[in-house]
């Protein structure tokens, strides 16, 4: 093995996924091409590499690196290149020059050992000193961790997450039990941990490995909406994943049950159902809370309901249909009721009437919805504040850990006479349990939603299960009002649900199909519609008013590629627009982006700093407001008021949203929707998905593609069955006489 020292003068190629780099290393003697896994390498960095010379048949002589380590640059030029590289937060090119002009070759020693002396440089105050010193130290520790972990195929971004979790104990934790990463670090699943374990020589039949593989299989099933897996299926999938015989799986299932990581429940057919503990507790807990709320004594209202409804009708000038009036009556006489219906059937009018009747009788009413956008829409249509369920339940920290929990629960319930929850089809089993157990018996609960929409992203099919169980009162709003019948969006949504052909391209209406045969033609048409034609002819804002929705993420017409193509036309590259390429994506000022995970502690503040708070939620849409390259921060403006900062390492929380998946659009409404219609796996070409997409539009729907796939979607009413026992358990309680309709 040979060693070479020098400075990185150029990086020719860098693979962000595996850290493979081709670079030029320069020193006093020569310029060398080096190749190898060096994920942290930056231009201007001084390093020492160890490896061997190889001859590439195309590129000639290269130095193949087996290991490398940073070397503190000793020349003024080297120090300048290092400091101005962007590696140290708070130092850009101009600041680097000022610091070096002051301290010369002692600059790095000053930053590391006497950072307070940086105050001698113009423009550096105490906050900036703290930022620079912390970044320098973090950078040094992080680089050591990355160099130790990169041989295991862990990318720099994942290394940063590991470092944030374990700090300088990271390598020790991983060497003892790499499977702990799968439990503790988002983005590292079982497969990555298993690869590390293999490199460490951990036995394939290790119980730690098999148990983590079983838990991984159960966690994967959550993504398909299952609250449990039948034991036979779990054994089969785990055995295939791990490459071990089934008896080892069966033995470790018992071990996991003993350790209370899973629960084994006998199904109605005497087969074993295997739950992760939180989902077992949540499913049983929802049943228990439904019993409590449906059968509890609530405050009797000594009122003439018919007269109360007439009073509201006079105030609003809107006459309720029979089913709407029935929904109001059920809400008043029941502890727990479900109101369901499609577009144009008057759910909003019904909810608003219920609110007015209760408030006219001095009842405190609280409104909630599962997402920020759904809550905002509920607020707008009711002229009353609606909160996200998470805000209603108040996030906080557990006293014995840093784990986020809801502060509202049985001990400290929500204070209200009536709680109305909209878009319940989006609520998964765990969130529904958290909500219901925080509502004290005696409070009326009204669950509102469209059971024909897609079920929740999370596990369970809560709204449909409750309705199918027939154990509590359900009012279906099925009359399409005359005004709604004027909209082809509403008419076609109901025709989709009934499996009927659509009314397309009716002159002067709001629902159109543009026939295109190839993916290339469809893409070109969508770009033209969104960037030029729809804004021009319908007076729409191309970013705020038009939303492209796609069934899938991958492929020419998937979300990922559509976002790349739409960005070129909806937020073009301009000299005055700052941009940064990160994680293989271009982030540019003005980009439309979406938060793709709940972050309850993410801080925000208004531009004038008059208001601040915490919490940005899955599905929130914003626009890139500013990119600070020096400090490696992107600022995003949400709701036209909230400014949120993201460090570069946090950008896995953001996705471009010129186009988004149909599932992600749930709970939202947009003036105009554009949908590509092309081949996709059958599970993504179904009636349920098309119905959900179409009902997101308020003014205009444009479908672009091949009519045979549109017809297939309307015919295909198959949905993926979810393993859930909620409906069965509710029915069993009813049969046992525990639960009686109120």
Binding site, annotated residues: 344-348
Measured distance CA(134)–CA(137) in Å, rounded: 5
632 sits in the region (left: phi over 0; alpha: psi -120 to 50; else beta) called left
Residue 728 corresponds to which tokens in the numbers above?
A: 């069965």
Could you give the strand order of the β-sheet that contains 262-266, starting from the edge strand earlier in sequence? 228-230, 272-276, 262-266
Write down how long the chain is: 742
Residue 324 C-alpha from the chain's centroid: 35
The distance of Cα 79 from the centroid of its chain, to the nearest Å, equals 41
Contact indicator for 453, 479 with CB cutoff of 8 Å: no
**List of residues 6+ apart from 365 with CB closer than 8 A:** 355, 358, 359, 384, 416, 417, 418, 419, 420
The C-alpha atoms of residue 544 and residue 540 are separated, in whole angstroms, by 8
Q: Which burial class, exposed, middle or buried, applies to 705 when counting CB atoms under 10 A from its CB (0-12, 13-18, 19+)?
A: buried
Q: What is the DSSP string of 75-115?
A: SHHHHHHHHTTT-STT--HHHHHHHHHHHGGGHHHHHHH-G
Q: Which long-range contacts (CB under 8 A, 24 or more apart) does 681-685 make?
A: 681/552, 682/716, 682/718, 683/720, 684/551, 684/552, 685/551, 685/709, 685/712, 685/713, 685/716
Q: Do the Cβ atoms of 178 and 200 come closer than 8 Å?
A: yes
Write phi, then psi, for 440 (nearest 5 degrees): -75, 145
Tokens of 221: 């099933």
Q: Which residues is 10 bridged to in the sheet? A: 24
Annotated binding residues for ATP = 344-348
C-alpha distances in Å from residue 61, one per residue of 31, 34, 50, 265: 12, 9, 16, 64
The three state secondary structure string of 529-542 is HHHHHHHHHHCCCC
Are 114 and 138 contacting, i.e. CB atoms less than 8 angstroms apart? no
CA distance 80 to 70: 15
Separation between Cα atoms, residue 408 and residue 434, nearest integer Å: 8
The strand pair at 336-341 and 444-449 is best described as parallel
Q: Measure CA 496 to chain center.
A: 28
Report how far residue 9's alpha carbon sits from residue 42's, in angstroms, rounded to the nearest whole number.
9
For residue 209, give both structure tokens: 């490995």
Residue 345: CB partners within 8 Å, gap ≥ 6? Answer: 477, 478, 479, 480, 481, 484
């Amino acid at each position: 093995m040979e060693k070479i020292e020098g400075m990185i003068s150029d990086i020719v190629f860098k693979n962000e996924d595996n850290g493979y780099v081709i670079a030029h290393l320069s020193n006093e003697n020569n310029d060398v091409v080096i190749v190898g896994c060096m994920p942290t390498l930056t231009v201007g960095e001084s390093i020492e590499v160890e490896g061997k010379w190889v001859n590439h048949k195309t590129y000639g002589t290269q130095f193949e690196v087996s290991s490398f380590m940073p070397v503190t640059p000793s020349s003024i030029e080297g120090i300048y290149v290092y400091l101005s590289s962007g590696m140290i937060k708070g130092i850009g090119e101009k600041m680097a020059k000022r610091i070096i002009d002051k301290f010369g070759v002692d600059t790095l020693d000053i930053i590391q050992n006497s950072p307070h002396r940086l105050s001698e440089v113009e423009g550096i105050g105490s906050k900036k000193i703290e930022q620079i010193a912390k970044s320098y130290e973090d950078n040094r520790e992080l680089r050591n961790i990355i160099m130790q972990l990169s041989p295991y195929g862990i990318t720099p971004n994942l290394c940063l997450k590991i470092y944030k979790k374990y700090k300088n104990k990271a390598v020790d934790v991983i060497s003892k039990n790499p499977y702990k990463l799968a439990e503790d670090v988002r983005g590292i699943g079982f497969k990555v941990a298993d690869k590390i374990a293999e490199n460490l020589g951990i036995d394939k039949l290790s119980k730690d490995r098999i148990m983590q593989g079983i838990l991984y299989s159960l966690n994967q099933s959550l993504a398909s909406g299952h609250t449990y897996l039948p034991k036979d299926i779990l054994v089969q999938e785990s055995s295939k994943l791990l490459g071990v015989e089934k008896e080892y799986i069966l033995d470790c299932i018992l071990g996991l049950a003993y350790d209370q990581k899973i629960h084994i429940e006998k199904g109605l057919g005497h087969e074993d159902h295997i739950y992760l503990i939180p989902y077992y507790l949540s499913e049983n807990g929802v049943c228990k809370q439904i019993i409590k709320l449906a059968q509890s004594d609530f405050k009797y209202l000594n009122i003439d309901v018919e007269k109360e409804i007439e009073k509201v009708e006079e105030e609003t000038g809107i006459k309720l249909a029979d089913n709407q009036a029935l929904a109001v009556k059920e809400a008043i006489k029941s502890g727990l009721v479900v109101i369901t219906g499609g577009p144009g059937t008057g759910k909003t009018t019904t909810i608003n009437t219920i609110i007015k009747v209760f408030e006219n009788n001095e009842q405190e009413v609280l409104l909630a919805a599962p997402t920020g956008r759904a809550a905002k829409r509920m607020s707008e249509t009711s002229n009353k504040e609606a909160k996200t369920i998470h805000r209603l339940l108040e996030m906080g920290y557990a006293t014995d850990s840093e784990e986020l929990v809801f502060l509202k629960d049985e001990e400290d319930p929500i204070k209200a006479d009536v709680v109305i929850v909209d878009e319940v089809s989006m609520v998964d089993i765990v969130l529904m349990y958290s909500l219901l157990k925080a509502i004290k018996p005696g409070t009326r609960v009204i669950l509102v939603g469209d059971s024909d929409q897609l079920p929740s992203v999370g596990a369970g099919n809560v709204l449909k299960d409750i309705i199918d169980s027939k154990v509590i009162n359900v009012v279906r709003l099925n009359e399409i009002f005359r005004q709604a019948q004027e909209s082809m969006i509403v008419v076609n949504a109901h025709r989709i649900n009934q499996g009927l052909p659509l009314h397309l391209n009716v002159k002067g209406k709001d629902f159109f199909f543009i026939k295109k045969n190839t993916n290339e033609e469809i893409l070109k048409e969508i770009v033209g519609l969104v960037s030029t034609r729809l804004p021009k002819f319908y007076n729409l804002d191309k970013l705020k008013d038009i939303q492209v929705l796609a069934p899938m993420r991958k492929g020419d017409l998937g979300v990922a590629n559509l976002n790349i193509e739409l960005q070129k036309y909806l937020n073009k590259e301009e000299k005055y627009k700052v941009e940064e390429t990160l994680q293989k994506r271009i982030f540019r000022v003005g980009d439309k982006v979406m938060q793709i995970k709940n972050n309850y502690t993410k801080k925000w503040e208004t531009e004038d700093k008059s208001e601040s708070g915490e919490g940005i939620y899955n599905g929130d849409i914003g626009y890139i407001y500013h990119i600070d390259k020096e400090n490696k921060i992107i600022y995003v403006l949400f709701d036209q008021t909230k400014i949120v900062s993201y460090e570069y390492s946090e950008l896995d929380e953001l996705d471009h949203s010129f186009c988004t998946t149909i599932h992600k659009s749930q709970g939202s409404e947009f003036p105009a929707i554009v949908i590509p219609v092309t081949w996709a796996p059958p599970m993504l070409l179904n009636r349920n998905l098309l119905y959900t997409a179409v009902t997101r539009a308020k003014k205009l729907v444009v479908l672009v593609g091949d009519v045979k796939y549109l017809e297939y979607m309307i015919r295909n009413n198959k949905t993926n069955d979810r393993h859930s026992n909620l409906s069965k358990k509710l029915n069993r309680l009813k049969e046992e006489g525990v639960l009686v309709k109120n």
